[in-house]
Amino acid sequence: MRSREELIEVLGAPLGDLATDGALFAEAAEVRDRTVGDRVYVRGLIELSNRCRKNCLYCGIRSGNGEVERYELTDEEVLEAACGAWSAGIGSVVIQAGERTDEAFVGRIERLVGALKRRSEGALGITLSLGEQTAEVYRRWYRAGAHRYLLRIEASSPVLYGRLHPADHRYERRVVCLEALREAGYQVGTGGMIGLPFQRVEDLADDLLFFRRMDIDMCGMGPYIEHPQAPLAAVRSDFTREERLQLALRMIALLRLEMPDINIAATTALHALHPRGRELGVAAGANVLMPNVTPEVVRGSYRLYEGKPADDTDLSGFRVVRDRAWGDAPHYASRRAASKSEE
């Protein structure tokens, strides 16, 4: 395990040529091969709706952006997208949407998860990424059949978090949600953005320490990319886009070395900044891909940032697990076993 100072030293090394980090990335990839395997797991990403009650300053689909055409997929469209993924050999899906907490939405998700489970006779793995909810809602969705949940902390520094969000978005609440998810039984994923305005390499080192302290099972990190209709785009980041990409790869590699047996995604934002961004992510230690399987008619509307790839389903450059395995992180099983033996 590296100390905070050591993490800062690696993250703060001069940025430039992607090849300068070759030894770090190779070591991380080797650790990945030995712990979670040398093949990547694939999840089909279904973007259920771009309606959101939140107003994060960096995001293109924030509630304050009146220029977005809002959509919501029907249950039938979601079932069809999931079936399509299944036919393509994908054993698990991620249902993602902007945040909504009204009972109509909560109940709908509960029924939808149940329907997906029944339709697949329990075989389809279901991950949710639907923002902050009460512990009871998390439990309802878990009972309905979801078993993994993604909720990025975005920035683990409360001060930085405060600068990226309106005052009524609470950092503490997000941490409470991550704890409630774990309590409910989910495999818990978090993560953040890299190269944000106001962010320093010290903050990134603290993100890694936060992930370790929270004992997470999964992580998704990607470079921050400006969205022209989001207010944060008016603030300059200290890092160019190339530097953000390189820093994101360093973060993936360091996290793999710190937490060898978790699942780490090579995210779409890497792909948005570089045509081979996901390949670079895997070469730096990532082991999960989340190609978008949302029906094409609405795909352009879930625009969190500029330059999001229109089609990322070509996985020909990857060695992929094809047996529809859920691909749980070994970390989940070992932390469950450890907590049982403590009881």
Is 58 a binding residue for ligand 5AD by CB under 6 A? The answer is yes
Taking the least distance from each CB to ligand SF4, the nearer of 59 and 254 is: 59
Is 224 a binding residue for ligand 5AD by CB under 6 A? The answer is yes
CB of 111 to ligand 5AD, least distance (A): 24
Instruction: Tell me the C-alpha to C-alpha distance, in Å, between residue 286 and each of 209, 219, 260.
Output: 18, 9, 10
Is 210 a binding residue for ligand 5AD by CB under 6 A? The answer is no
When CB distances are held under 5 to 8 angstroms depending on the partner's kind, the choice from ligand SF4, ligand 5AD, none that residue 225 binds is ligand 5AD
Is 193 a binding residue for ligand 5AD by CB under 6 A? The answer is yes
When CB distances are held under 5 to 8 angstroms depending on the partner's kind, the choice from ligand 5AD, ligand SF4, none that residue 131 binds is ligand SF4
When CB distances are held under 5 to 8 angstroms depending on the partner's kind, the choice from ligand SF4, ligand 5AD, none that residue 15 binds is none
Which residue of 113, 225, 264, 265 would you call a contact of ligand 5AD, by CB under 6 A? Answer: 225
Q: Which stretch binds ligand 5AD (CB under 6 A): 67-75, 76-84, 223-231, 235-243?
A: 223-231
Helix 171-184, helix 135-144: angle, nearest 10 = 40
Which residue of 222, 277, 281, 291 would you call a contact of ligand 5AD, by CB under 6 A? Answer: 222
> How far, in Å, CA of 333 to CA of 187, rounded?
9
Where along the sequence are the contacts to ligand SF4 (CB under 6 A)? 52, 54-56, 59, 61-62, 98-99, 131
Binding mask 301-330 for ligand 5AD (x = CB under 6 A): ---xx-------------------------
Instruction: Tell me the C-alpha to C-alpha distance, in Å, between residue 217 and each of 49, 90, 123, 152, 293.
Output: 26, 20, 21, 12, 24
Instruction: Sort 314 into a burial class: Cβ within 10 Å, 0-12 / 13-18 / 19+.
Output: exposed
Contact 132, 176 (CB under 8 A): no
> How far, in Å, CA of 188 to CA of 204, rounded?
20
Instruction: Sort 115 into a burial class: Cβ within 10 Å, 0-12 / 13-18 / 19+.
Output: middle
> How far, in Å, CA of 170 to CA of 117, rounded?
33
Is 62 a binding residue for ligand 5AD by CB under 6 A? The answer is no
Contact 253, 277 (CB under 8 A): no
Contact 230, 57 (CB under 8 A): yes
CB of 177 to ligand 5AD, least distance (A): 13
Which residue of 8, 28, 52, 59 would you call a contact of ligand 5AD, by CB under 6 A? Answer: 59
- Over the range 78-107, which residues count as b (16 or more CB within 10 Å of their CB) and which as e? bbebbebbbeeebbbbbbbbbebeeeebbe
List of residues contacting ligand 5AD (CB under 6 A): 58-59, 152, 154, 193, 222, 224-225, 227, 269, 304-305
